[in-house]
């Protein structure tokens, strides 16, 4: 079957709008997310109409559809603009055409052996709301780094018609959720077509019916992401909703989603003519890819045991959860309902099929997605050193004959895509002192040693600029809420209009779950009040984050925080920002002074927001959990509590609260306000430089992706290329030709 994916960009936007010939490649740039991590390319859109650029939430496709022709013509006739345009497009072309990459230099013989990467969510940019939190942002950063490193990686996920929910707080602080319907024609995604001109579609069998899913393509630099979508007229109303929202609580909906992602995702890649050699399941949602690949091999003549062995040898599984409740599982009767016909195609009976993933819970046996993923993969990892330990303990029962420390679950600590999260002004400073090509060497610790050569006054000037930028954004946002009549006057104060851009500012922003303990500060409200209202050394706290719509305990934490924020005795120095998204995250990790993280150890698998903050000169104040347990060295931030876990939650909360306040009162606040006659905090900046120099190379996706490649992807590919029992090997796929 011949697949026509069309060009890398349409000749005209999908509403029929065309651009002036002199700048018509803006359309091409809009449809490749490379611009989201190139430090200047967004200005190509912003300089045409800055007001509209903000109004469309930095969505370049929607921007080009709506911008007035006179502004486009003016830009096309402006020599300064066209010179800038030519430079950016030349850099884009050089990036896309580059053949000498880390992967091509290190593994030239494996260039045309694709790696498939499956994830339930991808957080690439705020204009593509197909993410709920850290898992999605990590997936997005993984794709960007794969592009930078030149990996032959192709990704599969979902196009959610309603994305994740929009958050609004009532006057008493209760979270309300609303959902916007997404128009795919306004996004940087392109449909995939078959040879007859129809949309590429695949089918997945569900009880009593067949569901259709179509494919869309998102271009992430040199990496392609395919998104599946069931919102088709041929499907029933219920099935059209399968790709409507992330993480539906209904078990039937969830298992159907997982089948479409795993089984439908494999079939979509086959229909595209892409034959991955290695397969990476990012969390257990996509574990059904293993079943579908086994089904294919059994249909080709293998026994189930042979097929399972081949699939295991070429599959990577990453777990991101630290508690059993965070892993999806289903009652056996529900699995029987959905797979009663499918297991026959595997050559199995009911009991043999259930044994692939069954494990016992207090309420009875269940079919677990994580056990299934573990049993159908040969390479397993947690996402930090401590999380690897926790995972070996949690899943020890899958390897009962092994000592716990020999359970085959390693770890690769998460990292961040530096170019995406680093503030443009700070990057210019690093270009000056680290060398203009430092980004090519960013995982080398020696590259970052030159941070110590940056004059304190220059670094402090950038830090003050980023703080002012955050304060201005918050004020403008509050003003917009007020002019739209969407908020009570007290809510406008709570939204940050009274923030002082020069006071010590502490940020806490992440998914609100109870174990993250956003309310730890509330255990001693009087100490908090004294901190924020100190006449000479005031402290400000900015909170942001969403609780899952079904998580009432987490919503109560938001409400408790919000009611404290509204109290006048705190002087407007406590702020809660609604509707946390990637854009707000970017501003916060760049613009606060301290990043606060208070998870109940050891429940934070890794976390990456503190890494994003650190490379921007923000100091971490965190429990020794997840990545910070590896990143903290005594000089680059502060550790809350001890390097141990407590069996008693109340005792842990009390100890961590006391440690937090003692650090704030005796170390953090005094150090920030210790200034020389020029009002520069030299000792604070010494700590900032230590943070940038240590976190920058060790916690980047450059290091992370190279680790995945060397320890998992390449061994899996070589296993896949080894002669199988029937002597066949996977057909090579030239990914450079896909989507061209």
How many CB atoms are closer than 10 A to CB 54? 14
CA distance 569 to 575: 13
pLDDT at 363: 77
pLDDT of amino acid 620: 98
CA distance 612 to 631: 13
Q: Give the class (CATH, top level) of 433-699.
A: alpha beta
CB 372 within 8 A of CB 312: no
pLDDT the model gives residue 164: 87
| 619: confidence class by pLDDT, cuts 50, 70, 90 | very high
What 3-state class would DSSP assign to 356?
coil
pLDDT per residue over 487-523, tens digit each? 667 777 777 788 999 999 999 999 899 999 999 999 9
pLDDT at 521: 95
Q: What is the mean pLDDT of residues 578-594?
A: 95
pLDDT at 730 over 60: no
pLDDT at 721: 93
Q: Is 218 in contact with 225 (CB distance < 8 Å)?
A: yes
**DSSP state letters, 708-730:** HIIIIIHHHHHHHHS--TTS--P
One fold for 102-414+703-737 and 433-699? yes
Tens digits of per-residue pLDDT, 212-234? Answer: 999 999 999 999 999 999 999 99
Query: Are the C-beta atoms of 622 and 535 separated by less than 8 Å?
Result: no
Answer yes or no: is pLDDT of 737 > 50: no
pLDDT per position as a tens digit, 409-456: 999 999 999 999 999 999 999 999 999 999 999 999 999 999 999 999
- Angle, nearest 10°, between helix axes 424-434 and 456-483? 170
Name the nearest CA neighbour of 377 among 260, 269, 293, 275: 293
User: Is residue 367 within a helix (H) or strand (E), and if so which, with residue range?
Assistant: strand 364-368
Phi, psi angle pair for 206, to nearest 5°: -120, 170
Q: Taking residues 694-722, what's their average pLDDT?
A: 97
> What's the rounded Cα separation, in Å, for the pair 653 and 659?
10
- For the ranges 126-135, 180-189, 289-298, the maximum mean pLDDT occurs at 289-298
Q: How confident is the model at residue 725 (pLDDT cuts 50, 70, 90)?
A: very low
**Domain regions of the chain by residue span:** 3-97, 102-414+703-737, 433-699
Write out the H or E segment, with its range, that includes residue 433: helix 424-434
The pLDDT confidence band at residue 4, using thresholds 50, 70 and 90, is very low
CATH architecture, domain defined by 102-414+703-737: 3-Layer(aba) Sandwich (3.40)
Give tens-digit pLDDT for 363-420: 789 999 999 999 999 999 999 999 999 999 999 999 999 999 999 999 999 999 999 9
């Amino acid at each position: 079957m011949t697949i026509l994916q069309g060009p890398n960009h349409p000749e005209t936007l999908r509403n029929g709008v065309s651009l002036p010939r002199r700048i018509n490649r803006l359309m091409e740039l809009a449809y490749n997310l490379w611009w989201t991590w190139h430090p200047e390319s967004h200005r190509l859109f912003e300089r045409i109409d800055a007001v509209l650029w903000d109004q469309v939430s930095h969505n370049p496709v929607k921007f080009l559809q709506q911008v007035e022709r006179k502004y486009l013509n003016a830009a096309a006739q402006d020599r300064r603009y066209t010179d800038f345009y030519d430079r950016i497009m030349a850099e884009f072309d050089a990036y896309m055409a580059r053949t000498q990459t880390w992967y091509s230099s290190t593994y030239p013989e494996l260039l045309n052996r694709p790696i498939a990467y499956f994830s339930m969510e991808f957080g690439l940019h705020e204009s593509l709301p197909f993410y709920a939190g850290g898992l999605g942002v990590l997936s997005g950063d993984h794709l960007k780094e794969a592009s930078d490193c030149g990996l032959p990686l192709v990704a599969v996920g979902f196009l959610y018609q309603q994305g994740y929910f929009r958050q609004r707080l009532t006057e008493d602080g209760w979270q309300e959720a609303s959902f916007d319907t997404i128009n795919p024609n306004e996004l940087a995604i392109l449909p995939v077509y078959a040879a007859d001109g129809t949309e590429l579609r695949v089918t997945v069998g569900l009880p009593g019916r067949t569901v259709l899913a179509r494919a869309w393509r998102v271009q992430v630099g040199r990496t392609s992401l395919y998104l599946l979508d069931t919102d088709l007229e041929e499907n029933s109303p219920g099935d059209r909703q399968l790709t409507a929202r992330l993480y539906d609580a209904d078990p039937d909906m969830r298992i159907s989603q997982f089948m479409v992602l795993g089984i439908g995702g494999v079939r979509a890649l086959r229909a595209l003519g892409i034959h991955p050699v290695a397969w990476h399941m990012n969390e257990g949602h996509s574990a059904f890819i293993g079943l579908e690949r086994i089904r294919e091999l059994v249909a080709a003549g293998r026994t189930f045991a042979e097929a399972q062995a081949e699939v295991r040898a070429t599959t990577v599984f990453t777990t991101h959860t630290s508690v059993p409740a965070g892993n999806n599982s289903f009652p056996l009767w529900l699995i029987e309902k959905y797979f009663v016909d499918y297991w026959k195609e595997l050559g199995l009976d009911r009991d043999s099929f259930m044994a692939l993933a069954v494990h016992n819970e207090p309420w009875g046996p269940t079919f677990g997605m994580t056990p299934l993923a573990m049993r159908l993969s040969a390479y397993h990892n947690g996402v930090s050193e401590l999380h690897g330990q926790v995972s070996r303990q949690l899943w020890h029962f899958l390897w009962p004959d092994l000592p716990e420390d020999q359970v085959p679950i390693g770890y690769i600590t998460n990292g961040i895509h530096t170019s995406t999260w680093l503030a443009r002004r700070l990057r210019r400073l690093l270009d000056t002192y680290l060398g203009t090509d430092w980004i090519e060497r960013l995982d080398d610790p020696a590259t970052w040693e030159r941070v110590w050569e940056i004059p304190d006054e220059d670094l402090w000037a950038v830090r003050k600029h980023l703080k002012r930028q955050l304060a201005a954004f918050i004020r403008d946002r509050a003003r917009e809420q007020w002019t739209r009549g969407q908020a009570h006057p007290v809510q406008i104060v709570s939204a940050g209009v009274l923030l002082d851009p020069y006071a010590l500012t502490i940020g806490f922003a992440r998914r609100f779950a109870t174990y993250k303990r956003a309310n730890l500060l509330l255990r001693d409200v009087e100490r908090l009040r004294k901190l924020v209202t100190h006449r000479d050394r005031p402290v400000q706290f900015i909170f942001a984050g969403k609780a899952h719509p079904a998580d009432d305990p987490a919503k109560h934490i938001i409400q408790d925080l919000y009611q404290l924020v509204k109290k006048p005795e705190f002087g407007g120095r406590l702020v809660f920002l609604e509707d946390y998204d990637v854009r707000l995250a970017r501003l916060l990790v760049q613009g606060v002074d301290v990043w606060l993280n208070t998870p109940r150890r050891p429940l934070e698998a890794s976390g990456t927001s503190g890494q994003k903050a650190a490379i921007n000169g923000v100091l971490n104040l965190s429990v020794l959990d997840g990545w910070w347990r590896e990143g903290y060295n005594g000089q680059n931030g502060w550790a809350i509590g001890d390097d141990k876990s407590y069996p008693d939650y109340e005792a842990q909360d009390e100890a961590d609260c006391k440690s937090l306040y003692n650090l704030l009162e005796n170390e953090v606040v005094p150090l920030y306000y210790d200034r020389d006659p020029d009002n520069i905090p030299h000792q604070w900046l010494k700590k900032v430089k230590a943070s940038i120099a240590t976190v920058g190379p060790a916690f980047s996706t450059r290091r992370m992706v190279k680790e995945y490649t060397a320890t998992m992807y390449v061994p899996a590919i070589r296993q896949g290329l080894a002669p199988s029992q029937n002597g066949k090997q996977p057909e090579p796929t030239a990914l450079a030709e896909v989507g061209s």
